[in-house]
């Protein structure tokens, strides 16, 4: 069985400040990890994913996530956020099951 815990339901932050969205997972097999972003009134879209190799993965818009096997974590970070980053962020894991498991989501609210 696999599960995902997103530790914060809401993260408020000021523009240009750094942010970290936390994600912990559990799985009995090798995992593949994903972060999806959902902008208001839209569907989810892939932000970045970890498959293998380097534990640090980056997205095209400045987000990065680090796979930490010992701590079973895949936290998402950005050194300086913009108003346009305001969205819901979902962590997901897949592995032995082809059906991914999603966390409950973290709402990132960027204030001017």
Partner 1 sequence: NAGVTQTPKFRVLKTGQSMTLLCAQDMNHEYMYWYRQDPGMGLRLIHYSVGEGTTAKGEVPDGYNVSRLKKQNFLLGLESAAPSQTSVYFCASSFLMGGGPWDEQYFGPGTRLTVT
At closest approach, how far in Å is the CB of 95 from partner 1? 6
- 109 interacts with partner 1 by CB under 8 A: no
Asked if residues 106 and 8 have their Cβ atoms less than 8 Å apart, the reply is yes
Residues 21-60: x where in contact with partner 1 by CB under 8 A, - otherwise, as a string: -----------x-x-x----xxxxxx--x-x---------
Q: How far apart are CA 64 and CA 56, in angstroms?
A: 7
| Residue 41 CB contacts under 8 Å (≥ 6 apart), including other chains | none
At closest approach, how far in Å is the CB of 40 from partner 1? 11
Q: How far apart are CA 81 and CA 61, in angstroms?
A: 10
Binding site for partner 1 (CB under 8 A): 9, 32, 34, 36, 41-46, 49, 51, 90, 94-100, 102-105
């Amino acid at each position: 069985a696999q599960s995902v815990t997103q530790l914060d339901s809401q993260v408020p932050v000021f523009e240009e400040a750094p942010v970290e969205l936390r994600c912990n997972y559990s799985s009995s097999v090798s995992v593949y990890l994903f972060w999806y972003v959902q902008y208001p009134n839209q569907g989810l879209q892939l932000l970045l994913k970890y498959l293998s190799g380097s534990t640090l993965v980056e997205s095209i818009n400045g987000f990065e996530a680090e796979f930490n096997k010992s701590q079973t974590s895949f936290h998402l970070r950005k050194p300086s956020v913009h108003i346009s980053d305001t969205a819901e962020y979902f962590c997901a894991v897949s592995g032995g099951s082809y059906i991914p498991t999603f966390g409950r989501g973290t709402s990132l609210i960027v204030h001017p």
